[in-house]
Amino acid sequence: MSLLVEYTLKDGKADEQAEALRTFVDGLKALKDDGFQYSAFETDDPTRFIGVLEFDDDEAKQRFLASAPFANYRDNASDRFSAPPNATQIRLVASTRK
């Protein structure tokens, strides 16, 4: 199970968002939980970022949602976003990822 998350930021918040995402990912890595993966991407539009979440199963998704890094990121994100993130469930068709 995977999610594509699109973030629309307020003008001038791209650097702050990039730093918040790096901190978030560092926190997730520290959990040493192999049941989920998170990748963040910036786009050519400085107000648009994309996240891709991959979960082994629903339990892994719940661990991610209950994690301290996610709670900290979520609780401090509202001042950067111009609208709530948009999440779309996606399904892997093919990948070179191992």
pLDDT, tens only, 3-54: 999 999 999 999 999 999 999 999 999 999 999 999 999 999 999 999 999 9
* CATH architecture, domain defined by 2-90: 2-Layer Sandwich (3.30)
> How far is C-alpha 56 from the geometric centre of its chain's CA atoms?
16
How much is the pTM?
0.88
Q: Who's near 38: CB < 8 A, 6+ residues apart?
A: 24, 25, 28, 51, 52, 53, 54, 64
Amino acid letter, 88: T
